[in-house]
A and B are shown apart, each in its own frame.
Chain A
Amino acid sequence: MAIIKTQDLSKVYNPDTIPVHALRDVNISFEEGEFTAVRGPSGSGKTTLLNMLGGLDKPTGGSVWINGEDISAMKDSDRIDFRLKNIGFVFQHYNLIPVFTARENVSFIMLLQKRDKKEIQKRADELLDQVGLGERKDARPVQLSGGQQQRVAVARALASEPKFILADEPTANLDTKAAMNLLDIMERMNKEENVTFIFSTHDQRVIDRARRVVTMVDGAIHKDEVKEVTQAG
């Protein structure tokens, strides 16, 4: 069964003044374990789609189903809770709490989930080790490079053990080396731990790493291709 499924999903901004049709009857579904890139020119609706999938905004038409639940019908406070349990986010920038260290940023989301203190510490340390920041656990975001910050953000998104992770242009502000490094980490998490990733990008190097590429044009799905699985490990 698909973990995410949209049904005639539409979004119109400013319906009363100058309507902008950011999404037009989008029907798409995502399976567990996917590593999917959403590509398309600027303004094609990538961010809007990801926001809808993450329940950050309400559609003006259609619905979003996650694990069989219609999140567009939820109350605001229930949706916040739902996100905490099911969805991990990585944004383009300003991801982290600036006054918290890397470790605290990763732990915080697990504290919100009211998990056991010891377990939180252990998992935060493990995740930071996995994203290659074992040495920088006590650094604050300003003391980290952009690439390191995004890796902390990925660790934080993973911390809550979500069903899937949404990343809106996670590499847009990174240089090539940092971008590829982040992709390596995401890919490894996907392969080793079967974490589902859906990320938007217009960067060809990133698109090349995806196993499924969804192309958007003018608010609609223009193309949806699954690549041949190359080789494992």
Chain B
Amino acid sequence: MVTFIKLAWRNLWRNRRRTLITILAIVFAVVLAVLMKAINMGSYELMIDRMVSFSTGYVQVQDYRFDDEPSLDNTFYYDESLRNRILDSDHRIAEAAPRIETFMLAANEVATRGTMVLGVNPGLEHQFNEIKNYVSEGTFFDIGQNTAVIGRGLANRLELSVGDTLALIGQGRFGMSASGLFEISGLIDHPVIDMNNSIVYLPLDAAQELLSAEGYVTSVVVMIANERHTNAVASAIRGNLNDDELVVYTWPELLPEILDLMEMDLAVPRLLTVVLYIVIGFGFFGTILTMTMERLREFGVLLSVGMKRRYLSVVLFVETVLISSIGVAAGIILSYLILILIDPITLTGDAAQAVVDLGYDPIIPMSFAADQFYTQGLFVFFIAMVVFLFPLLKIKNLNILEAARS
């Protein structure tokens, strides 16, 4: 085997320039494909990351009716024993944070606004998404305090600031009327734009009391150490709860719109990648084709002296694999370096302003997700295997004498 690899390796460098051009073409394709994907995925990863940490969690426990009808009537009772049952389901669970969530109207003297009221445990919520770091004015409430923290967008619209009083009007559990006054202790620059314009954070027990739902929550978000374990943890919780009334969702189930949008956005770069690889594939094929054809006589001699066709195929296979894997490895390293260099792309000038006006950060983060690298490797390897069919067939059907005469 060592000899075959040696033979293949030296054959590669018989026509140094051709081999280098082929490798460079593969490097080019891999780099382009990775960059396209990384730029597209980066923004989505950031968006998903924020949605997951501020809204859904990786895994979430709900009442089974809540998804169809997100009303306070479809809440569930959450106590220490349920909390323990969730936490004990799987050792990869870091924490569980209860929330009660509903729509209410917020008012000042001049206007009313629809808001999303979110009752949270401040300590757990902070562990989950470091919410306190986003407070830009005043402070986040602590346990036992009875104040509100609202999104800066909402504050602007209602012309409220720290120290002012917020009036909330709405409906509690089972149609009970709910209204209350809360002092605003802090303003938050919420990273999720929609939430910045509508969020009102209240302490969990204050919210429960306001909504006549003492002890009840709309969801429990589960924190896990690594996103990879989402599905495993979700099914572990399902198994451990074993409760017909409670359902466990994972984040893709809770954010289907974002994922659909992402798929649509990725369609064009995907198509481009395929086209790119087809072009590169033909170039690769051309190289392997000439590498095979110009050596037919040599193959004839090798078969004459007793080299099995199988071994000859092995040598050509190694040549194909060497070219493609050198190309892929160099392409991955190069694209990784480029990503490190450009990440994140900071927009400037008009483009930046336009993005800020839309409510987004003027930066495009790069995705470093491992899969986009090895997918390219698999892709090129697949192409290499298709390309290799040619020499394989050629050797299988090679007539020794015809080869020797060519």
A contact set with B: CB distance below 8 Å: 51, 54, 56-57, 77, 80-81, 83-85, 87-89, 91, 94-95, 97-100, 108-109, 111-113, 156-157, 160
Q: How far is the CB of A41 from chain B (nearest CB, A)?
A: 20
Contact B311 A56 (CB under 8 A): no
12 further contact pairs, Cβ within 8 A, besides A88-B305, A94-B297: A54-B304, A56-B304, A57-B401, A83-B306, A84-B305, A84-B306, A97-B7, A97-B302, A99-B7, A112-B307, A112-B311, A156-B305
Q: How far is the CB of B342 from chain A (nearest CB, A)?
A: 41
A99 to B11 CA separation, bound complex (whole angstroms): 6
Residues of B within 8 A of A109 (CB): 305-306
Residues of B within 8 A of A56 (CB): 304, 400-401
Query: What size tier do the contact residues of chain B reach?
Result: 20 to 34
Interface residues in B1-34 by Cβ distance below 8 A to A read 3, 7, 10-11, 14
B308 within 8 A of A: yes
B247 within 8 A of A: no
A-B contact count (CB 8 A): 61
Residues of A within 8 A of B14 (CB): 98-99
Q: How far is the CB of A54 from chain B (nearest CB, A)?
A: 7
> Which residue of A80, A89, A91, A157 is within 8 Å of B309 (Cβ)?
A80
B107 within 8 A of A: no
B204 within 8 A of A: no
A74 to B85 CA separation, bound complex (whole angstroms): 73
A95 to B72 CA separation, bound complex (whole angstroms): 87
Residues of B within 8 A of A85 (CB): 306
Residues of B within 8 A of A87 (CB): 306
B298 within 8 A of A: yes
Contact B3 A111 (CB under 8 A): yes
Residues of B within 8 A of A98 (CB): 14, 298
Residues of A within 8 A of B401 (CB): 51, 56-57
Contact B306 A97 (CB under 8 A): no
A54 to B300 CA separation, bound complex (whole angstroms): 13
